[in-house]
């Protein structure tokens, strides 16, 4: 057993696989569970004073939090994104930061494909109509033979591509770092962004949030999309200029959107995308499937324990020079 205190803040850690908690509790001296959808710095500071390891969710891990944690050796992010963690401060303090790349790829891809059907067959409209007593047919689109455009061909993009090809779709993808071998093997056509936007019936976003991708989907991006097409975002809300998206929906240039993430979460009740009938919005559920949460939990747990035991983690984002720790 490692003589260490580990803080666990993700709400779903061990939810579908209790052995994760059992393994953690057998491996370290003390485990503290503070389940939360995301803690703010002022809430975190009193929690981290004597913590050695941290399995972290969507908490805002800013510099002042790390400065309040003199024993902290590792932050194992339960998920892929690390924009909530001050990586520079972690590096300066000798704190290892890890994440869980690919753990939720299949779950997010399945949601993306689900959105294809929701948009194409107007399932939201049909449900509302049926509940209101209407039994008139609502016409939709077939999926087979449509063109799906992927902006990003990383782990999630590749998982979407495989499923879309299996449905009989033509798949175009834009990614400067695309795996050409994967594309060739799975019938994915690599193309420039303008070609993808002009040809796709459905454009799906699968890029990380970086300075160059923030507000990628602006008025100009949307204008290049095919009239009557659909946009899907299961990546990051900050990729989209939401005011521009509302304009494209209201003027009819886009037929609809499906969004699992918004720039502000939760959004205000008066958010315009929540009132538009052509917008399907879900509360960031992409990774919230049993397989994904278990895989994320196992990867985060293994990396947390590895660092506490003096070993290198499998999935480092910040790995200070040896010796690790502080």
Q: Over the chain (326 residues), what is each successive 10-residue block's mean pLDDT?
A: 96 94 97 94 96 96 97 94 92 96 94 98 95 95 98 97 98 96 98 98 95 97 98 97 98 98 94 97 93 95 97 91 50
Buried b (16+ CB within 10 A) or exposed e, 59-95: bbbbeebbebbeebbbbbbbbbebeebbeebbbebeb
Active site residues: 236, 265, 284
Amino acid 79: pLDDT = 86
Amino acid 321: pLDDT = 61
Domains of the chain (ranges, CATH numbers): 2-103+289-318 (3.40.50.720), 105-281 (3.40.50.720)
- Strands 53-56 and 254-259, sheet pairing: unpaired
Dihedral sign from CA coordinates of 150, 154, 157, 163:
positive
> How many whole angstroms separate alpha carbon 190 and alpha carbon 11?
39
Match 């499906």 to its residue by tokens. Answer: 258
Amino acid 74: pLDDT = 98
Amino acid 72: pLDDT = 98
Amino acid 82: pLDDT = 87
Amino acid 320: pLDDT = 72
Q: What's the DSSP call for residue 273? A: H
Q: What's the DSSP call for residue 87? A: H
Q: Strand, helix or coil at 317?
A: strand
Q: Is the Cβ–Cβ distance between 112 and 234 less than 8 Å? A: yes
Amino acid 67: pLDDT = 97
């Amino acid at each position: 057993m490692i003589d260490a205190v580990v803080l666990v803040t993700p709400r779903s850690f061990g939810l579908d696989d209790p052995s994760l908690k059992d393994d953690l509790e057998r491996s370290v001296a003390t485990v503290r569970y503070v389940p939360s959808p995301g803690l703010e710095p002022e809430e975190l500071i009193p929690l981290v004073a004597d913590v050695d390891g941290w399995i972290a969710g969507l908490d805002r891990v800013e510099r002042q939090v790390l400065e309040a944690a003199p024993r902290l050796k590792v932050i194992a992010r339960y998920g892929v994104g690390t924009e909530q963690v001050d990586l520079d401060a972690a590096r300066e303090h000798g704190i290892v930061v890890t994440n869980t790349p690919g753990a939720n790829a299949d779950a997010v891809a399945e949601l993306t494909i689900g959105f294809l059907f929701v948009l194409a067959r107007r399932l939201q409209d049909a449900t509302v109509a049926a509940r209101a007593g209407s039994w008139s047919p609502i016409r939709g689109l077939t999926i087979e033979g449509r063109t799906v455009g992927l902006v990003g061909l990383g782990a999630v993009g590749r998982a979407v591509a495989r499923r879309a090809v299996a449905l009989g779709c033509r798949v175009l993808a834009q990614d400067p770092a695309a795996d050409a071998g994967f594309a060739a093997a799975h019938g994915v056509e690599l193309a420039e962004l303008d070609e993808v936007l002009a040809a796709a019936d459905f454009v799906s976003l699968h890029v990380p949030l970086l300075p160059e991708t923030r507000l990628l989907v602006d008025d100009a991006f949307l204008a290049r999309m095919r009239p009557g097409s659909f946009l899907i975002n299961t990546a990051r809300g900050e990729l989209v200029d939401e005011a521009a998206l509302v304009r494209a929906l209201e003027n009819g240039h886009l037929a609809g959107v499906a969004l699992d993430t918004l720039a502000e979460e939760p959004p205000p009740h008066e958010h315009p995308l929540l009132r538009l009938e052509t917008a399907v919005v879900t509360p960031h559920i992409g990774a919230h499937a049993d397989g994904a949460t278990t895989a994320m939990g196992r990867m985060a747990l293994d990396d947390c324990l590895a660092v506490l035991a003096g070993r290198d983690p499998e999935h480092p984002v910040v790995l200070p020079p040896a010796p690790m720790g502080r």
